[in-house]
Amino acid sequence: MPFGIVDLPEKAKAKVVSKLEKLTEPFPMLHPSWVPHHLAGKIEDVHYVRNFLEPKQVEEFVRIIDKTCDWERMRTRDTQEFGSSGQCPCGRSLMRAALPAWQSTLVDALGTLGVFHPVLFPANSVRLNAYKPGQGILPHLDGPVYFPRAAIISLGSHCIFDFYPRFEEEHPRGFTWDRDKEVPSSPELPAGTRPQLSLLLEPGSLLVFSGDAFVRHRHGIKAVEEDEISKEVKNAKDIGLSVGDSLRRGRRVSLTIRHLLPRCNCSPIF
């Protein structure tokens, strides 16, 4: 079942309804500005926006990240989470923490575009990942702890981002962490499974995926030093690339922005 207001604790529902009653203008989501960037293909609800950030903005955000981030070093990537802190009193969720000002600027921009709703599902979680050439992330689903929409802003190098075919039995009902793979746990993909849809994520680009693309189609980044353009790379022609072309990776930093759902009444959602 899609995640929404019906899944919230009663006190949280009351808070949402109270805010809705005070609205005097139409919801931004009624006319989302990113919808024209939909990628026509076999997977719905995948949108790609080139040049979401200007090159100078990309450089500035990378500078800020390198100066301020306290990375958790992993085999597959370096990472840091923003928007949450320690466990809440009941132990079922995390306490909210304010996002840094520079991240709030990006979150506000996404709200203006209608990617996230300021009342129903505001962006409240930012995950930074940094990849060296040869690093990647195994195919996975983000899990039911999030509203089913993710916005990924790419900084630094390009990469190819893959979506895999859905499997009916993979509608997640819980969340566990695979320490070996360093991703949320999920069954192994059948041997030889190829991506159903791939995108070349350029520096400064914005990728938004939601609904079925979020809930049922695992996504990942191959751990390679050089990306080869395959027939699955949907936006290759738009960028001036052809099947068989290759691009050598550099260091890439990404921001994955989501709405972390409440799991108890003592963990506020706004």
Residue 40 sits in a domain of what CATH number? 2.60.120.590
**Cα 154 from Cα 253, distance rounded (Å):** 6
Q: Which residue has the tokens 């024209």?
A: 36
- Per-residue pLDDT for 59 more than 80? yes
pLDDT, residue 253, reads 98
180: pLDDT confidence band, cut at 50, 70 and 90? confident
Residue 264 inside a domain? The answer is no
Residue 189 inside a domain? The answer is no
Residue 143 inside a domain? The answer is yes
Q: What is the mean pLDDT of residues 120-146?
A: 93
Residue 68 inside a domain? The answer is yes
Token pair, residue 267, equals: 């963990």
Range of the domain at 211: 5-21+28-167+196-258
What distance lies between CA 1 and its chain's CA centroid?
20
pLDDT, residue 77, reads 96
Element (H, E) at 228: strand 226-228
Q: What is the mean pLDDT of residues 128-146?
A: 94
pLDDT, residue 5, reads 33
Residue 173 inside a domain? The answer is no
Pairing of β 246-248 and β 226-228: antiparallel
Q: What is the mean pLDDT of residues 97-125?
A: 90
Contact 101, 233 (CB under 8 A): no
Element (H, E) at 140: strand 137-140
Residue 127 inside a domain? The answer is yes
- Per-residue pLDDT for 17 more than 60? no
270: pLDDT confidence band, cut at 50, 70 and 90? very low
Residue 64 inside a domain? The answer is yes
For the whole prediction, is pTM greater than 0.85? no
Domain count, the chain: 1
- Per-residue pLDDT for 206 more than 90? yes
What distance lies between CA 214 and its chain's CA centroid?
9
Q: Hey, which residues does 162 pair with through a beta bridge?
A: 198, 220
Residue 111 inside a domain? The answer is yes
**Cα 119 from Cα 26, distance rounded (Å):** 12
pLDDT, residue 148, reads 93
Token pair, residue 258, equals: 């989501």
